[in-house]
Amino acid sequence: MYFKTVLLIASICLTNYLPSISQTPKTEKIKLFLDCSSTRCDRTYIRTEINLVDFVNNRTQADVHLLLTDQRAGNGGRTYQLIFFGQNDFSGKRDTLSFSMPPSATDVEYREKLLNLIKIGLVPYVAQTAWINEMMVAMKADGMDADEYEASRAEDKWDYWVFRVGGRGNLSEDQNYKETELNSYISVNRTVPENRTELRVGYGRERSDFEYVNDDGTLESYSVRNSNWYLNHLFVNSFGDHWSYGYYLFVRNSTFSNYQHSIRARPAIEYNFFPYSEVNTKYFALSYMADVRNNSYYEETIYDKNNEWLYGHRAQAVVSFKQRWGNLSSTASYFNYFHDWSQNSIQIDLNADVRVKGNLSFFVNFYGSLSRNQVFIAKGESSVEDVLARRKQLASGYEYGTWFGINYRFGSINNSFINPRFSDEVD
């Protein structure tokens, strides 16, 4: 596919653009606005390696607006999409390229692959300027012909199954406080266009020890130990370009959340207003799921329960737009139990980074929740130590947080020069 993409783009350039070059080639460089707001990119490296275009900071003055987006792939890597929007003399022209990187890929491998695709995507635009005389195009895969190259990409002896084993430890200590944490997991997943399967099993332990002086001046020591384990399973199947159905299965144990065990099943259905193939740029999905669970508790709950069956449902909306005007994503959900509809929860998460006009942009991030369904909270009063050391989860009816701001840039629109001297950070 990679070889064919290069060949196709080069053919387009030669057949559609070369005749016009000989007639009225442009002497000025193409102005490129590099938009990495949706994913990461090494701007310094890209500007250093490409000098046949002028990089500008104002998208409205660019000849080409390059938007980079990415999505997580089934093997744990990421699939990246490069969308070239033509502006000014190239108005109405749009090209899209994509590539995938495995989860083991290094930053160097990623940036080299990205740089090469940017160069390929810029060929049709630079080809209409006098700077085409400075271009060189290579169309040979090292050590293999095109058919061999394509076949090597298609082979997969694992049938797209991906396995992961991992762990993480944390240790922090000062004169009065010591905390240790250990987590491990095993995951299995398979992602193909028709369906997706995921299974993850994990275990964790946490211990905190601290000392404090009580009211009578005596030095007290206090220890907190918590542990948890979980099993999460997901299966989703697609039918058509807009519908999906499947189920979630959760099994968990948590001393912090008072669960000896919690077994939960959620059959679900989802509708995406846009085709799933356009997920890199726009996504608007509504989902509905039933909820059946059985909970067994370490301590009797505030509702006088040691074990119970619960039934409910959940509705959720997810919106994501990655466009030239900026990025917008939001998730909103509602849940309640059927036996008592007052036991419900509402959650919302909003992220926006939008260019208002020219060089003026604003960003806002907000998350919040109203919780009236914390059926697992242990009965009885909590001690001061429980609260300070977070030995167990406490009842809370709400949670929220936000940050926001504006950005405005003025001055020179060019930023093609590189000078990293005395820099604490390099992109």
**143 and 262 assigned to the same domain:** no
Domain that holds residue 252: 240-408
Domain count, the chain: 2
Q: Which residue's structure tokens are 């016009």? A: 20
Residue 195 CA, distance from chain mean position: 20
**147 and 246 assigned to the same domain:** no
Average pLDDT for 294-313: 92
**11 and 138 assigned to the same domain:** yes
Q: Which DSSP helix (H) or strand (E) runs through 407?
A: strand 398-408
pLDDT tens column, 1-41: 444 444 444 454 444 444 444 445 567 888 999 888 878 88
In a domain, 161, yes or no: no
Residue 158 Rama label (left phi>0; alpha psi -120 to 50; beta):
alpha
Instruction: Note the pLDDT of residue 378.
Output: 72
In a domain, 235, yes or no: no
139, HSE (Cβ side, Cα atoms, 13 Å): 10
CA dist list (Å): 85 to 65, 67, 92, 95, 286: 5, 8, 8, 7, 29
The angle at the Cα of 351, spanning 349 to 354, to the nearest 5 degrees, equals 155
In a domain, 212, yes or no: no
**398 and 257 assigned to the same domain:** yes
Q: Classify 46 as helix, strand or coil.
A: helix
Instruction: Note the pLDDT of residue 20.
Output: 42
Instruction: Note the pLDDT of residue 5.
Output: 47
The enclosing domain of 349 has a CATH number of: 2.40.160
pTM: 0.62
Instruction: Note the pLDDT of residue 243.
Output: 93
In a domain, 328, yes or no: yes
Average pLDDT for 289-298: 95
Instruction: Note the pLDDT of residue 22.
Output: 42
C-alpha span between 261 and 382 (Å, rounded): 22
Pairing relationship of beta strands 30-35 and 53-55 according to DSSP bridges: parallel
Picking from 118, 153, 188, the residue at the C-terminal end of a domain is 153
**With 50 as the cut, is the pLDDT of residue 67 above it?**
yes
C-alpha span between 336 and 349 (Å, rounded): 19
Contact 52, 291 (CB under 8 A): no
Residues 6+ apart with CB under 8 A from 33: 55, 56, 57, 58, 59, 61, 62, 64, 65, 66
Contact 356, 364 (CB under 8 A): no
**148 and 250 assigned to the same domain:** no
**With 90 as the cut, is the pLDDT of residue 280 above it?**
no
**249 and 142 assigned to the same domain:** no
Give strand pairing partners of 69. Answer: 81
Average pLDDT, the chain: 81
**246 and 106 assigned to the same domain:** no
pLDDT tens column, 170-182: 998 887 778 899 9
In a domain, 218, yes or no: no
Mean pLDDT is lowest, of 155-159, 240-244, 300-304, for: 155-159
pLDDT tens column, 305-331: 899 999 999 999 999 887 777 788 899
In a domain, 16, yes or no: yes
The enclosing domain of 35 has a CATH number of: 3.40.50
Residues 6+ apart with CB under 8 A from 288: 268, 269, 313, 314, 315, 316
**247 and 390 assigned to the same domain:** yes
Instruction: Note the pLDDT of residue 417.
Output: 53
Contact 3, 138 (CB under 8 A): no
Contact 123, 106 (CB under 8 A): no
In a domain, 422, yes or no: no
pLDDT tens column, 336-352: 999 989 889 999 999 98
Picking from 133, 153, 173, the residue at the C-terminal end of a domain is 153
**140 and 252 assigned to the same domain:** no
Picking from 92, 119, 153, the residue at the C-terminal end of a domain is 153
**With 90 as the cut, is the pLDDT of residue 263 above it?**
yes
In a domain, 211, yes or no: no
pLDDT tens column, 123-156: 989 888 888 888 777 766 665 554 554 454 456 6
**277 and 385 assigned to the same domain:** yes
